[in-house]
Amino acid sequence: MRAHPPGLVRGLCVLWITMAQVAGQEEREKTTALKDLLSRIDLDELMKKDEPPLSFPKTLEEFEYAFNEKGQLRHVKTGEAFAFNAREDLHRWNQKRYEALGEIITQYVYKLLETKCNMTKEILPVDAMQDEPTSFIYLSADALTNPSKLLVLIQGSGVVRAGQWARRLIINQDLDSGTQIPFITRAMEEGYGVMVLNPNENFLEVEKPAPKAPGPLPSPPPEPSDEPAEKRERKDEKEGKKKREFYEKYRNPQRERETEQIPIRENSSSEEHVLYVWDHFVSRATAKNVFIMAHSYGGLSFVELINQREAQVKNKVCAVALTDSTHNIWLQETSKGTQDWMQQCCRNWVSSPEPLDTPVDTMLPDCPRVSAGTEKHELTSWTSFDSVFRFFREALEAEEEGEGAETSTTVTTRSSSLKSKHLDL
C-alpha cells in the first residue's frame, strides 16, 4: 500500500477541518437567523404567507349566488348551496369570505324590509347631529298610529342586524327561517303595527390611520472583540445580508385593517338600545296593546327594560314571547312584582327535544317555559312561529274579556285579567 507524504495528510486534514468549520458556521448563522425571525413574528401569521388577498365581492351577483323562489341561497351556475370551505387549509380566508357575504346579506334583508314589507328607516338618536354616529330601526307605516296592536321584534346578539334572527340560517337554510320577514308579514295581515329593532348596531367602525413604516431592526450591542473594526464591519454586513435573504423567503403576511369603534349615543349596547326605543317610540305609540317578541339576548334586554320601566311596561305590554331567552331574573335582580307579571304575561319557547309547546321544567320563577320543538338554538323563533301568534291572540282575548267584565267602580289590571282567564280555564 502506497504511503501518502505526511505534509499532504496534514494539508487534507486542515482542509477538512476548515470546511467543517465553515459548514458549521453557516448552519449556526442560519439557526441564529431563524431564531431571530421567530422571535419577531407570530407563528400563526407565518402560516398565512400563501393566503390569497382578503378582498371579496361586494354584491351577490359578484359572488355568483342568488336566492331562488324558495328563499334558498344557491350558486347561479352549479345550483349548489354555499360552501364555507372554498379553499382548503385556509380557515381565516374562508371565515373572512363568509363574513363578507354576511354583510351583503344584511343589506339584502334591509332592502326586503323596505320593498317587500313597506317599512321605513328611523334614524337614532332622534336628535343626531350631522357628523355623529347613528343607528336606525324599521317602522311599519302605522307603527306609531295603530290604535289597537303593536308588535316589537328584538333579535339576539352578534352580527345579526335589523330583520334577522340568524345569519347562518339565511345562508345555509332559507330566508323564512333566518329572517323576521314572515313574522312581519303575518303581523301586518293580522292588523298589527310593527317595529323592528336593531340592538347590535352600537358603534361606528372607522379605520385607523396607517402606522409609520418601521425603521431598521435594532442591532445587538457589539460583543467585546480584538478584531479590527474594519473586519468586524465587513462581518456584520455579511451577516445582515444573510438575514435579509432569509427574511425574504417569508414575506410579511397580509394583516387586517386596524379599526376603532365610536359608540352611538344612548345606543352603545343592546340594553341601551331597547330602552332608548321604548322611551322614544314604543311608549309614545297609540296602540292600546303592545306585544314583544325577543330571541336569545333580546330576552335579557327586555328584562333590563322592565327593570328600568316597570310601571310603563306592565301598563302597556299585553304579552311577551321569548325564544331561548338568555335572561336570568336572579342575576338581573328583578323584583317580586316583575316575576309575578312575567309568570302571567310571558312565555319562553326553549330549545328542547320535546314536541312543540310541551311544558319544560324551570328552576327560575320567572315565566313558563315550553319546547320550541327543536334542539337548535337559532331555529327556536322559526319553529315557534304559529305558537307565538296563537299565544298573542289568546292574551288579547283574555285582556278584552277582562275589560268586558269591569264595572264602573272596578279597575282590572292586565295581570289580574289574564290570571282570572287562566283560572277560568
Q: Which residues are catalytic?
A: 296
d(CA 196, CA 178) in angstroms, rounded, equals 15
Q: Which string of DSSP letters, residue by residue, matches 387-400?
A: HHHHHHHHHHHHHH
Cα(270)–Cα(264) distance, integer angstroms: 11
Strands 369-371 and 359-360, by their bridges, are: antiparallel
Q: Give percent helix, percent strand, percent coil of the chain, each to the nearest 5.
A: 45, 15, 40
CA pair distance 201, 268, nearest whole angstrom? 8
Q: Which helix (H) or strand (E) holds 16?
A: helix 6-40
CA distance 120 to 114: 6
Query: Do 379 and 386 form a contact (C-beta atoms < 8 A)?
Result: no
Residue pointed to by grid coordinates 314589507? 117
Angle between helices 229-248 and 6-40 (to 10 degrees): 60
Q: Cα–Cα distance between 200 and 157 in angstroms, integer?
A: 6
Residue 71: DSSP 8-state: S
For residues 82 and 284, is the Cβ–Cβ distance under 8 A? no
| DSSP per-residue string spanning 297-361 | HHHHHHHHHHHHSHHHHHHHEEEEEEES----TTTTT--HHHHHHHHHHEEEEE--SSPTT-EE-
- Which neighbouring-strand residues pair with 320? 292, 346
> What are φ and ψ of residue 141, in 5° steps?
-60, -30
Grid cell listed for 122 = 328611523
